[in-house]
Amino acid sequence: MIPASRPRLIVLCLVVSAMMAGLVTRVWFIQVKNQSAYASQASSERIREVIEPPVRGPVLDDLGTPIVNSYPALVISVSLPTLWKMSDGGASVLRRLAGLLHIKQRMMLREVRLCTVGVSQPCWPGSPYQPIPVAERVPARIALQVLEDQRLYPGVTAAIQPVTHYREPISTNLAQVIGYLQPITASELKSQGLPVTGFAAVDLVGQAGLEQEYDAELRGIPGVERLAVNAAGQVTGTLSSVKPRAGDYLVTSINAALQQDTLSALASAVQKSQFAGSPTSNGGAAVVMTTTGRVLAMASYPTYNPAIWTGGISLREFGRLFDAGGGEPALNRATQGQYPPGSTWKVTSLAAAVAAGYSLYGTYTCPGGVTIGGHTYQNDGNPSLGPMSFYTALVVSCDTVFYQLAYDIYLRDHVRQDAVTSPHAPVQEMQRMELGWGFGHTTNVDLPEENPGNVPTREWLYYFWKDNAHTGQNWCKFGRANGSYVQQIEWDDCRYGNIWTPGQSVIASIGQGYVSVTPLQLARAYAALANGGTLYSPRIGEALISPSGKVVRRITPPVAGHLPVAKATLAYIRHALAGVVTSGTAAGTFGGFPLGRVCVAGKTGTAQVQGNQSTSVFASFAPCDHPKFVVVVMVPNSGFGAQVAGPAVRQIWDGLFGLEGHKAALPGGVLPGLPYLNRAGQVVPPPGFGPPARRAKHAKPGAHR
């Protein structure tokens, strides 16, 4: 080596050492210092999570027969965006698919077009980016053919998806109570921290009724399969697999036969009234267990088939569901309908009077009319009946007795007759009693849709006037001192609407004016009357049973309160209500009814509504001595309580007990116990109730995937 090279070789040695040291340092930095960051990146890209949707739990009636049922089925879907990319818009693919599925080509083409303006059903009402299901319950052979020959069927997928089945006629009878399922919204996904399954039709969430109320339990838990994938996205193995857990079974206390009876009684009442010329279009009914607060039937007319929600509802059907002119079938009248209770309300006024010190056994006069505050209030349709007991006042439904009591109690409240109300005005005695019966606030039934009804108090009147004097109904703008009848009222309301007059108390005492209740509120109040004072928060759900058969939760109707009424008073009222049926306002309605076999008690209600026909109400319980059931029917805008609602209630009692040629829904009034799941996962009806319930054949729990 020449001398000049030596130092340069040493420099080379140093450079090489530095290079190696640099490599080690950098590798240390990546592998030791930042290891966790790289490790998480690595796992995120080599693992794919596949979410497997759970099968939604069924909703069962009291005997364990499914009302709504989900089961996994092979569904063939078409992705529009993929078809659009093809030169012929995917027509050839659809034709081929139609041939494979034995569907008419024209039908197939219609099903996958979008429901836009001017396109009528059949069409796809959902998002164009959501796979459109074209065939459910497809044989595996055909599904495989589609999957394996993607060259022939681009954009066509076959996947196991839960399919919802609505059993008829019970689901139509119970449509508003069941509710419906709709694709989950992005905000719901986020707020509930749910994984997206990727199956658009599967990410459904209960949006109304029991489906919404018990959504968390019914939905189940999605399965997660963590797959190892290679760089090309091919699956190389399964790292972990958690099977989906099917949703719980919701057993309800709804009796399918009784529900059928209730709806058809309600429907025929509305239809008969319509036939007689009334403008009525809807009504609500409820059958509640007095001793437990369970709901046995809950009907709303008009109703609809909830299956129309499946796979996306069309705009027209959606419009029809919420069209007030068509009776708004989506509304649950039993919990959302707010109607004046009419004379069925008198039981609370009587209780208030007794609480205020009026003797239960006293004598009260029933004149043809009373003049209070310069205004004469007539006894509805009745002449002067002279002195009478409370018993008779209820049996013949004398209004003037209650007018006078209301005025007396109003005076006891020491209200100055010209006092303007305030938000802090104390609740008056009469209204305190009404609130004590559970009116004026929701029953907290296990349904998301419920209205509170209204018990007019002075506080309420303050806000009512404030909201409508210059805004809202704008009485002061439209009112005329000498205009039409309505304009005169508005003129008055503008000037004096914020004053609680004796007339307000008088009208409220017979369940008219601003008083409104829902059929369910009335039913539970009468249940409390019947059971000795316990006010329940009614429940439709009875129990949640896991797919393995374990009772996860028994649902017991909570006690919401106790009527502020002495037992003796309640017993007296019950006795009077039995008289209503035998010799009072409902005697005609129940003429020929086998009261000897089942003693029925009840109260008619005919609430006059300004500008409309009366609201027909009948609230009833049976048997008289040890009441077990309450039936309430309310039909607005139809006529007398004894003429419209009364016969409907009679028909429901017939169906419940099996009277007058009807088949008993609950023979002997005996309620079934809880159905259970046998080892095979089939639902077995409670002992003593019929043959094993027929289950939809796909509905075996555990059959998911």
- For other proteins, the binding residues (CB under 8 A) are 1-6, 8-9, 12-13, 15-17, 19-20, 22-24, 26-28, 30-32, 34-35, 37-39, 41-43, 45-47, 228-232, 234, 236, 239
Q: How far is the CB of 3 from other proteins (least distance, A)?
A: 7
Number of CB atoms found within 10 A of residue 625's CB: 10
Structure tokens at 433: 């009693």
Task: Identify each DSSP E strand in 350-469 by its residue range.
Answer: 364-366, 369-372, 375-378, 386-388
Work out how close the CB of 244 gets to other proteins at its nearest, in angstroms, rounded to a whole number.
Answer: 25
CA–CA separation, 388 and 193 (whole Å): 65
* Helix, strand and coil percent figures for the chain, each rounded to 5: 35, 20, 40
- Quick one: 235 or 411, whose CB is closer to other proteins? 235
Q: Which is nearer to other proteins, 25 or 116 (CB)?
A: 25
Q: Which is nearer to other proteins, 36 or 120 (CB)?
A: 36
Residue 2 vs 186, nearer CB to other proteins: 2
Q: What is the CA radius of gyration of the chain?
A: 34
CB nearer other proteins, residue 43 or residue 363? 43
CB of 243 to other proteins, least distance (A): 22
Residues 6 or more apart whose Cβ sits within 8 Å of residue 281: 270, 274, 302, 327, 637
In the bound state with other proteins, the residue whose beta carbon lies nearer, of 38 and 84, is: 38
Rounded to a whole number of angstroms, the minimum distance from the CB of residue 224 to other proteins is: 17
CA distance 401 to 393: 7
Answer for the pair 439, 525: CB distance below 8 angstroms, yes or no: yes
CB of residue 52 vs other proteins: minimum separation in angstroms? 21
Contact 686, 674 (CB under 8 A): yes
Strands (E), 146-199: 156-166, 181-183
> Smallest gap, in angstroms, from Cβ of residue 38 to other proteins?
3
Q: What beta strand segments (E) does 446-568 contain?
A: 534-536, 541-545, 551-554, 559-562
Catalogue the E-assigned strands of 61-166. 66-78, 132-135, 156-166
Nearest residue to 70 via CA among 703, 685, 540: 703
Cβ proximity to other proteins: between 234 and 484 the closer is 234
Q: Which residue has the tokens 């364990």?
A: 64
Nearest 5 degrees, angle CA 221-CA 225-CA 229? 155
Query: Residue 31 or 359: which CB sits closer to other proteins?
Result: 31
Structure tokens at 72: 């996994």
Q: Shortest Cβ distance from residue 47 to other proteins (Å)?
A: 8
Closest distance between other proteins and the C-beta of residue 96, in Å?
32
Quote the tokens at residue 213. 């109320």
CB atoms within 10 A of CB 703: 14
Pick 44 or 378: Cβ nearer other proteins:
44
Closest separation in Å from C-beta 79 to other proteins: 24
Distance separating alpha carbons of residues 185 and 465, to the nearest angstrom: 39
